Amino acid sequence: MEKIKQKSKKNSKEFYKKNKEEVSLKSKERYKKLGKEKKQKYYIINRKKILSNLKERIYGITDVKYQDILSQQNFVCAICKNPEKVKHNRKTISLLAVDHDHETGKIRGLLCSRCNQGLGHFDDNPEKLRSGIKYLEMFNRQY
């Protein structure tokens, strides 16, 4: 039995020496996957705490203030008046995004992902948005 163990150890050492890069790569991939799974589990368990900390650190608002703004908006997006539909990691519906002025940091309201990204694509520029509105109105009249 002892000889088998020694032979097995010897074979595994030789295999490792010959295939060091491949073994190392597989090990790194396994570690990354394990780390990702642990992070995902942690996030699922602590989602509310993590998001609360982010809102306070980034935007300076507490959960109470966020909920206050949300209730003032009747729990819907300030622009399209719809609730958020985008799912986070295909599991839970995302929270409405905190929309803010990037220059002053002042909070404007809570938006769904689509409206928030739409404003971002127009660089938060009212003139670009007005131009887009004119374009849509002109397009609707032509066809």
Q: What is the pLDDT of residue 46?
A: 80
> In sequence order, what are the residues at sequence separation of 6 or more whose Cβ sits closer than 8 angstroms to the Cβ of residue 119?
99, 111, 129
More confident: 93 or 130? 130
Domains of the chain, with CATH numbers? 1-60 (no CATH), 61-143 (3.40.1800.10)
Cα distance between residue 54 and residue 49, in whole Å: 9
- The whole-chain average pLDDT of the chain stands at 81
At 95-110, the pLDDT tens digits run 899 998 888 888 999 9
Q: Where are the alpha helices (DSSP H) in the chain?
A: 2-18, 20-54, 63-72, 113-121, 126-142
User: Do 79 and 90 meet the contact criterion of CB atoms below 8 Å apart?
Assistant: no
Residue 57 has pLDDT above 90, yes or no: no
**Top-confidence residue, 11 or 110:** 110
